[in-house]
A and B are shown apart, each in its own frame.
Chain A
Amino acid sequence: MTDIRPEVATPAPQLEVRALRKYFPLKLSLMARLRGQVPETVKAVDDVDMVVFKGEVLGLVGETGCGKSTLARCIAGLYESSGGEIRLDGQALSARRTTALRRRIQVVFQDPYSSLNPRMTVTQTVGEILRVHGKIPRKAVATAVDEPLGLVGFPTALKNAYPRSLSGGLRQRVSIARALAASPEILLADEPVSALDVSVQATILNLLDDLRKRLGLTILLITHDMAVVRHLSDRVAVMYLGRIVESAPSEELFTNPRHPYTVALLSAVPHLEPGRGVPPPAVVGDPPSPIRLPSGCRYHPRCPLAEEVCRREDPPLEIGPWHPGHAAACHFAERVDQLVLQTADQRRDRALAQQADKAAGQEKD
């Protein structure tokens, strides 16, 4: 497997994931077990290689069930991986970690309504982490929580409130403050804004950006929202069915995608600018089940570029000649720019046809 570092001369990565696997065996009925059937497995994460550098925001995108949250949970130590390794500053991490190791990677979950204990006040929630990881004595906690709460802009007047009396935006701030209370080096943010109101999302995104700049935090941002990723990330990795299919610096990935799946994903994002109409779908069907993975390249059943070789051979994630930090796992990566042009053409034709249709409809009236 090729190294996917952005440039040859860059420092060693802070977080390194090598050939990581996480398989979930499916339960069999008693009869099936008596018949001696072998249980099937869901390959949620299947041979993932990834590096994260200090102080960067790496956006991990992909659709439901592609394994992005499972990957994050393995990194956080919430799941024990089935194979491969995770290294933090060169040190191998298992799921069984010492408190000191756990402190270094903290998680912000998607839903601040279910990830905060409803029976603990804000001070208790954040203070618990301070006592465990900051070794702050119980008596000093009440004042010590002001620091992480201040970092996230949580009004300290509300620090003795219970989560139920807080708005979604404030709850997510508490959840971020709880993670920061451990002084982590890496923050895993798993869909940090998708449960929030649209008008509140921006404040949390600005906060994450600000924290990265002020504290030099490394952030692994997991989301399905391409606009959020483009706004916050320095680099982006695209996941499909348990595998990373493309990774590149953010602008490079968005302007010069080299995997057909990335092209489909990017062209499916609705734009706010009116007058574009609904574009023709760039990909047909739903992702296949991660239980029975397609042979060869996992994207071949939906891929417009697929040929015989794609059904046979699984393409490795390799740096191409386009950019020193741009890797794609496609046999025909060099043809993908043609696909981008084609998609854009189809889209323009469709928009023109829709306009003509509407004009014709108005004349009739």
Chain B
Amino acid sequence: MPELLRVEDDVVEIRTRRGVLRAVDGVSFSIAAGEALGLVGESGCGKTTALRTILGLIPRHATVSGRVLFEGEDLLAKNGDAMRRRRGKAISMIFQEPMTALNPLMRAGQQIAEAIEINLGHGGREARREAVDLMRRVDIPDAERRYRAYPHELSGGMRQRVMIAMALSCHPRLVLCDEPTTALDVTVQEQILNILATMQREEGLSILYVTHDLAVVAELCERVAVMYAAQIVEIGTVDEVFRRPRHPYTLGLLRSIPRFERVQETLNAIPGAPPHLLAPPPGCRFHPRCPYVEDDCRQGDFPLLPIGDDHDSACIHSERCVEAIVGDPVMPGD
């Protein structure tokens, strides 16, 4: 499949009172047309900032370097107007909290119609008809009536559907999702994931899905990138990374999650906590928590290295993960 988006050496530095903080530190990945990539990591690891740089949605006191190539064009080199034309049209975004992302003073349907009028230049009546149509497609029951509802009159799931309808209104090729189901219940989450999966299948939409929930990635995405302390530590197909992880952080994370499908005696917790980004540890950032740490982990740089077909890891002792999985598979039945 042709490549749609390529992010190269993305670095975001934020000036704070206590020094310069690298929220994203040399992140590179690519997404093919029609592909869903999951970007997973814990809170504060920089995954949301990495996602936002793609659309240039970063705070004013931050500086960005690197390249964001969308169909070969560098989006970071574009000025505000050119960027705005891209936003919402070729690339759109679904935020985590629809209540804060929607305008509370404007009817839900009108917000979708407005996006259609501005981005596609359609007339008012036509835009309205298309908005109602879109609302039906994202499974909003009684769409005609809900068009006139204000955001506060809708439930969380309905609001998120309005957000999705708006994001899809201009036939984007890439949708950036920032934890769109984190605030929702599991039964509603399942419905939202279904809408996204259907759009991906039927319209060849590419998805970049940021979340801390590895199980959601396992269901929705073909590929996954694991972030730790502002860097990507492992990337590859979901099947490879989840069944044969080659970074101790990924392995630790997969082993620490209580599994719904099997009962474990005790959970294998990762000791310690993620580091603060103002003073990350030298060397491999995971080394203070790593069970396989050796002297050469404590200094130097740890770039992603290819270790298999479409599978890269930043760990220089990744064979230790292979040994750890022998006889104790990550997925039952492997």
Binding site for B on A (CB under 8 A): 63-64, 167-170, 197-203, 205-206, 209, 224-228, 230-231, 251, 264-265, 267-287, 354, 357, 361, 365
The answer to whether A279 and B256 touch (CB under 8 A), given A198-B212, A202-B269, A271-B218, is: no
Residues of A within 8 A of B215 (CB): 269-272
Q: How far is the CB of B249 from chain A (nearest CB, A)?
A: 8
Residues of A within 8 A of B189 (CB): 268, 270
Interface pairs A-B: 7 shortest CB-CB: A202-B269, A270-B215, A202-B267, A63-B185, A231-B258, A202-B256, A167-B273
Residues of A within 8 A of B156 (CB): 64, 286
Mark B238-274 against chain A: 1 for CB-CB distance below 8 A, else 0.
Answer: 1100110000000011101111110110111111011
Please give me the residue from chain B that is nearest to A203 by CB atom. B269
Of A197, A205, A278, A284, which is within 8 A of B42 by CB? Answer: A197
B100 interfacial contact with A, CB 8 Å? no
Task: Provide 25 A-B residue pairs closer than 8 Å at the C-beta atoms, listed in order of the A residue.
Answer: A63-B186, A63-B187, A197-B42, A198-B214, A198-B257, A199-B253, A199-B256, A202-B256, A225-B258, A227-B258, A227-B260, A230-B260, A251-B263, A264-B187, A268-B190, A270-B186, A270-B215, A270-B216, A272-B260, A272-B261, A274-B239, A278-B219, A279-B190, A286-B156, A354-B201
State the CA gap A206–B269 with chains docked (Å).
Answer: 8
Binding site for A on B (CB under 8 A): 1, 34, 42-43, 139, 141, 155-158, 185-191, 193-194, 196-197, 201, 212-216, 218-220, 238-239, 242-243, 252-254, 256-261, 263-264, 266-271, 273-274, 331-332
State the CA gap A300–B267 with chains docked (Å).
Answer: 38
Residues of B within 8 A of A272 (CB): 214-215, 218, 242, 254, 257, 259-261, 331
The answer to whether A224 and B273 touch (CB under 8 A), given A199-B252, A272-B259, is: no
B253 touches A270 (CB 8 A): no
Residues of A within 8 A of B256 (CB): 198-199, 201-202
Instruction: Given contact pairs A206-B266, A230-B263, enumerate 19 new A-B contacts (beta carbons under 8 Å).
Output: A63-B186, A167-B273, A198-B212, A198-B257, A199-B269, A199-B273, A199-B274, A201-B256, A203-B271, A269-B215, A270-B193, A271-B261, A278-B190, A278-B193, A278-B220, A281-B190, A282-B187, A285-B141, A354-B197
Please give me the residue from chain B that is nearest to A209 by CB atom. B266
Residues of B within 8 A of A227 (CB): 257-260
State the CA gap A227–B220 with chains docked (Å).
Answer: 19
Residues of A within 8 A of B188 (CB): 286
Please give me the residue from chain A that is nearest to B191 by CB atom. A281
Q: How far is the CB of A274 from chain B (nearest CB, A)?
A: 5
B268 touches A202 (CB 8 A): yes
Q: How far is the CB of B140 from chain A (nearest CB, A)?
A: 10
Residues of A within 8 A of B253 (CB): 198-199
B263 touches A231 (CB 8 A): yes
A265 touches B273 (CB 8 A): no
A231 touches B267 (CB 8 A): yes
B185 touches A224 (CB 8 A): yes
Of A64, A251, A273, A275, which is within 8 A of B185 by CB? Answer: A64
B187 touches A268 (CB 8 A): yes
Residues of B within 8 A of A231 (CB): 258-259, 263-264, 267
B155 touches A202 (CB 8 A): no
Please give me the residue from chain B that is nearest to A228 by CB atom. B258
Residues of B within 8 A of A267 (CB): 190
B219 touches A277 (CB 8 A): yes
State the CA gap A339–B43 with chains docked (Å).
Answer: 38
Please give me the residue from chain A that is nearest to B268 by CB atom. A202
Residues of B within 8 A of A198 (CB): 42, 212, 214, 253, 256-257
Please give me the residue from chain A that is nearest to B249 by CB atom. A199
Q: How far is the CB of B69 from chain A (nearest CB, A)?
A: 21
State the CA gap A303–B236 with chains docked (Å).
Answer: 40
Residues of A within 8 A of B332 (CB): 273
Please give me the residue from chain A that is nearest to B237 by CB atom. A274
B219 touches A271 (CB 8 A): yes
The answer to whether A230 and B239 touch (CB under 8 A), given A199-B270, A206-B269, is: no
State the CA gap A264–B191 with chains docked (Å).
Answer: 12
Residues of B within 8 A of A226 (CB): 186, 260
A286 touches B158 (CB 8 A): yes
Q: How far is the CB of B89 from chain A (nearest CB, A)?
A: 25
Residues of B within 8 A of A275 (CB): 239
State the CA gap A228–B263 with chains docked (Å).
Answer: 10
Residues of A within 8 A of B259 (CB): 227, 231, 272
The answer to whether A280 and B242 touch (CB under 8 A), given A206-B267, A226-B186, A268-B189, is: no
B201 touches A357 (CB 8 A): yes
State the CA gap A200–B267 with chains docked (Å).
Answer: 11
A277 touches B197 (CB 8 A): yes
A270 touches B42 (CB 8 A): no
Which of A167, A228, A271 is packed against the most chain B CB atoms within 10 Å? A271
The answer to whether A286 and B157 touch (CB under 8 A), given A203-B269, A206-B267, A231-B267, is: yes
Q: How far is the CB of A287 from chain B (nearest CB, A)?
A: 8
Residues of A within 8 A of B141 (CB): 285
State the CA gap A268–B42 with chains docked (Å).
Answer: 23
Q: How far is the CB of A349 from chain B (nearest CB, A)?
A: 14
Please give me the residue from chain A that is nearest to B198 by CB atom. A278
Which of B156, B216, B219, B242 is packed against the most chain A CB atoms within 10 Å? B219
B273 touches A270 (CB 8 A): no
Residues of A within 8 A of B220 (CB): 278
Q: How far is the CB of B2 from chain A (nearest CB, A)?
A: 9
State the CA gap A271–B332 with chains docked (Å).
Answer: 12
State the CA gap A88–B220 with chains docked (Å).
Answer: 46
Q: How far is the CB of A321 from chain B (nearest CB, A)?
A: 26
State the CA gap A28–B48 with chains docked (Å).
Answer: 41
Residues of A within 8 A of B43 (CB): 197
